[in-house]
Structure 1
Amino acid sequence: MESSEADELTKKKLLVIGGPTASGKTALSVLLARELMCPVVSYDSRQFYKEIPIVTAQPGKAELSEVPHYFIGDRSIHQPLHAAGFAELANGRLQDIFTESDYCVAVGGSGLYLKAWLEGLDDIPSTPPTIRAQVNVVFREQGLEALRSWLKSVDPEFYNQVDLNNPRRLTRALEVYLHTGKPYSAFLSRSKKRNPNFTVVYIGINPDRSELHSRIALRVEQMVANGLFEEVMPLYAFRYLPTLQTVGCKEIFDMMEGKYSCEECLEQIIIHTRQYARRQLTWYRKVPGIHWFESDPDPKSILKLID
């Protein structure tokens, strides 16, 4: 890249919106993108899949029609997109966006995917099949809760960051621990150079706790009205797919197996969503230089940060 091109690219700004689920990130991202006349790139690993728009709270038709969106409902649950693959696709998309605009808005709640995109992934050691089999036996015979308890005891730091409903990530962390004797979190980089070709501005949304709990309960209620059960129940045959190991799907599948009543199922979804929101906040609070706002911030106050 010629020097003048590189200088021009450094003027570009990526506005990253983060925070707990149900905090109003999606609506804010649309408002900001509309003001900046730029697209929205989603880094929410749950919203990639077209079969589950309701349970993953994907933007509605009205929001999608206001500004261009990328990585929303654009693939099947049978085509999982992992963090490394997303990073490659998102980098390509961002370069295309920056040929047309000085700005891009990114929004989501998947810290690992954001980190992979903007900083690259850590060099985690591979593990032998015997170790993998050992962990899989625990999962198969004792279930997801056993993996959670095990991880919490050996690596509480990663336990507070990871999606506890994702068995793939739990087993991977435990495999590394068994193989190396070190917690998985020990292999995660504390700092890396961000992409020097553009400026990243981090915005965090942090509602009052009681308000967030009310928002979560209201969201679940709205999901049911929009057809949550009708969306998830036909996917029962695919319940073991990694793409369906998400809050909302697992509880409904458990209900279908008689573990919960309908009312208990909804209670569990609310509880697990609160727990997920707490882990998201824990992750974002560690982002250096993030600018925090309470719920429903005035977009103008955010736009001042990128002038």
Structure 2
Amino acid sequence: MADKWLISIVGPTGIGKTSLAIKLAQYFETEIISADSRQFFKEMTIGTAVPSKEELGAIKHHFIQNISIFDEYSVGDFERDAIALLHGLFKKKNIVIMVGGSGLYIDVVTKGLDKFPEVDPNIRTELNKLLEEQGITVLQEQLSNLDPVYFNKVDTENPHRLIRALEICLGTGKPFSAFLKQKKVKRDFKTISIGIDAERHVIYERINQRVDLMVEAGLVDEVRTLEPHKSFNALQTVGYRELFKYFEGDWTLDFAILEIKKNTRRFAKRQLTWFKKNENTIWVDYQEDLPSVVGKIKQKFKI
């Protein structure tokens, strides 16, 4: 049987991952799995940069707006569903494309989900209470002290991730990072990682432009419709959290938009830190053309 290959397209937000993924999927006549956890939700379109109707129509995509913010859906659920989908796709395709900026969701497909011990559920309750009463900063400081290794690579603006790490730290007396990648799972496919990069100032300028385009496209109205549900985990994310501050009267709209840009730039920096850890990734310039990228893939992996 021919080898089965998963080509994973990674890189910072706004760098052009979707465009390259579609071109590669068209070239290899295959389909795309999205590993962008923000794009799972039906109610979130503009602020999560969901592919356009034209892009979605060009190639079959999976895991785009497939659930609701009201649904319970974990990274473990995604691993189960993505692996099941790949099993089916590989029956008719030798190559499948995966694209996304959520490092954890990419890793669970390619490497498997880490296993953690059970801890007292009251710890999570107390941490959620701490978040509600004192804000995210106290959680960030606590995790920085208890597990600086994980703190330096986690999305520190995501309270769900902070609380998950802290409950393990507090419940076991060991750092969360100590439980990561203890055992590697063996997948029945091979992974090719393609990273898209650019000079830092280019990445930041593209992010600033993208945020401006989101605002022009109606981001404020989209977020306003979701304000009644602002406590949901899905909405504790860049582009939504800042506008909730505007609706609450804490910030002006102009300041909220500046904060979206700043926090998105910080997120992009963390994404690159995460993806650069994979020494096997083939890095390409954001302006590199398709024949060049395909040539690098074929040269290295003989597919």
Q: Bin the TM-score by the shorter chain.
A: over 0.9
Structure 1 residues 207 and 191, CA, compared in 2 at 3 Å: closer, same or farther?
farther
Secondary structure of 2:43's partner? Answer: coil
Secondary structure of 1:192's partner? Answer: coil
Report deviation, 1:65: 0.8
Of 30, 43, 48, 1:38 maps to: 30
User: Which residue number corresponds to residue 57 of structure 2?
Assistant: 65
Of 74, 83, 89, 1:97 maps to: 89
Structure 1 residues 235 and 110, CA, compared in 2 at 3 Å: closer, same or farther?
same
Report the TM-score, using the length of structure 2 for normalisation. 0.94
Q: Structure 2: which amino acid aligns with 1:73? A: Q
Q: Structure 1: which amino acid aligns with 2:32? A: V
2:118 is the counterpart of 1:156: no
Counting matched residue pairs gives 298
2:242 is the counterpart of 1:285: no
Report deviation, 1:179: 1.9
2:290 is the counterpart of 1:299: yes
Aligned-partner Cα distance in 1 for 2:182–2:86: 25
Report deviation, 1:129: 2.9
Aligned-partner Cα distance in 1 for 2:148–2:198: 25
Secondary structure of 2:142's partner? Answer: helix
Report deviation, 1:115: 1.5
Secondary structure of 1:113's partner? Answer: helix
Of 208, 226, 232, 1:217 maps to: 208
Aligned-partner Cα distance in 2 for 1:92–1:301: 32
Report deviation, 1:154: 2.2
2:229 is the counterpart of 1:238: yes
User: Which residue number corresponds to residue 203 of structure 1?
Assistant: 194
Of 6, 12, 36, 1:20 maps to: 12
Task: Name segments (4+ residues, structure 1) moved above 6 Å.
Answer: none
Secondary structure of 1:99's partner? Answer: coil
User: Which residue number corresponds to residue 48 of structure 1?
Assistant: 40
Structure 1 residues 129 and 14, CA, compared in 2 at 3 Å: closer, same or farther?
closer
Q: Which runs of 5+ in 1 are unaligned?
A: 1-6
Structure 1 residues 190 and 22, CA, compared in 2 at 3 Å: closer, same or farther?
farther
Secondary structure of 1:259's partner? Answer: coil
Q: Structure 2: which amino acid aligns with 1:294? A: D
Judge conservation of contact 1:208–1:294 (CA < 8 Å) in 2: no
User: Which residue number corresponds to residue 164 of structure 2?
Assistant: 172
Judge conservation of contact 2:114–2:182 (CA < 8 Å) in 1: no
Residue identity (%): 39
Of 71, 75, 82, 2:74 maps to: 82
Aligned-partner Cα distance in 2 for 1:287–1:259: 40
Report deviation, 1:206: 1.4
Q: Which runs of 5+ in 2 are unaligned?
A: none
Aligned-partner Cα distance in 1 for 2:125–2:78: 28
Report deviation, 1:193: 4.3
Q: Structure 1: which amino acid aligns with 2:57? A: S
Report deviation, 1:191: 6.4
Residue deviations 1:217-240 (CA, integer Å, cap 9, x gap): 000000011110111111101001
